[in-house]
Amino acid sequence: MKTKQLAIAVLFFASAALGHAQQTKPLVSPDVLPDGRVTFRLNAPKADEVVLTGEFLDGPKTFARDADGVWSVTVGPIAPEIYHYNFTIDGVRTIDPSNPQLKTGSTPSTIASVLEIKHPSPAFYDAQPVPHGEIRTHWYPSKSLGTVRRLTVYTPPGYDKNQSARYPVLYLFHGANADENAWYRLGRANLILDNLLAAGAIKPFIVVMPFGYGVTPGGAQADNTAKFSKDLLDDVIPYIDGSYRTISDRTNRAIVGLSMGGGQALNIGLNNVDRFSYVGGFSAAIGNAASFPKTYAKITGNEGQVNSKLKLLWIGCGTEDSLFGASKSFSEWLTAANIKHTFRETGGAHTWMVWRRYLHEVAPLLFK
């Protein structure tokens, strides 16, 4: 009798365990299909509506719910790239809980899930079997801001082996809501440069990626560029020149940024041509045409000196970007002021897809 009861008990608990496993089996999302389409899934039986938004969509897509309360939607095919997306559940924007790959930054508004569709062969931003540089993190004292701040540094392959070698420096800025990790985590700057170095397309240089806020992220931004500029010029650059084997003259110093950081790079670089020889802005947040004469007063009527000192002034923006008009107006203003520059008009919106390509294009133009 006891044997029969034991057998029944074992069968009961086995069945219960199987049922629990079936209910808690993790959903696959995103699920990249062989034809390039992608299925997204969410287990939310009590939800009334689930919507998908992403950089690979023309507009929001609504999920459908099955009898078990699992929502799903299939979109595509989607071209190989790295994209960001979100779910909106009953009006609340959130991430895909089944996807551990995340875009994060300095404010909650930047949080998104990451979808990567692999290229048939390695892309220019993929990790490849080549020598790799290092990503290093520093905390440094900012006397300008009265605090201790963070910055990230990329050193090229072999930096520690040849103790006599000295290197040019690129100061590379992130955009609003991001942080000092954005250019390597989202932009894959280190892998892009590793691949370019292996191909012989660039010379080795150090990349410094500071935290781009002189004020609290998400707060009032009126003084941000001025405070960040002082921190960069008075604290960051001396710290880097004292900590790394840099070539610490203007001909071996570049300043480039995207979005908010693009505006900062153009503002700081063009108003300090005695400190920088290469200046670039990707989808730069630079205000409107009425502000240009005041913001760039130091170069107005001084085109001879500016043109002789700048080896590169590069401005790029995608035509689908809301900042395209401002970038084009700035290029036209520079042309009217007789300032030599390159204006790169491409397709694309305000995304890392554009900025990775721009870095890949601009890096070979530096330190020539």
pLDDT digits over 282-300, tens only? 999 998 888 999 899 888 8
For residue 19, name the pLDDT band (cuts at 50, 70, 90). Answer: very low
DSSP 178-205: --TTHHHHTS-HHHHHHHHHHTTSS---
pLDDT digits (tens, 9 = 90+) for 209-253: 999 988 877 665 678 899 999 999 999 999 999 999 999 999 999
What confidence tens digit (pLDDT) does each residue in 49-97 have? 999 999 999 999 999 999 999 999 999 999 999 999 999 999 999 999 9
50 falls within a domain? yes
pLDDT of residue 15: 37
311 SS3 class: coil
Count structural domains, the chain: 2
Q: What is the tens place of the pLDDT at every residue in 134-181?
A: 999 999 999 999 999 999 999 999 999 989 999 999 999 999 999 999
One domain for residues 109 and 140: no
Mean pLDDT of the region 264-278: 96
Is 60 part of a structural domain of the chain? yes
* Domain CATH for 319: 3.40.50.1820
Q: Does 122 reside within a domain? A: no
294: left (phi over 0), alpha (psi -120 to 50) or beta: alpha
Contact, 254 vs 367, CB < 8 A? yes
The predicted structure's pLDDT at residue 220? 58
DSSP 3-state of 257: strand
Residues 99 and 149 in one domain: no
Collapsing DSSP to helix, strand or coil, 174 comes out as coil
Pairing of strands 278-282, 253-258: parallel
- Identify the CA nearest to 207 among candidates 232, 179, 173, 176: 173
Whether residues 98 and 208 fall in one domain: no
- Cβ atoms 177, 346 nearer than 8 A: no
346 and 309 housed in the same domain? yes
Specify whether the CB–CB gap between 42 and 61 falls below 8 A: no
Structural domain for 77, as ranges: 2-117
- Distances in Å between the Cα of 57 and the Cα atoms of 51, 53, 107 are 12, 7, 24
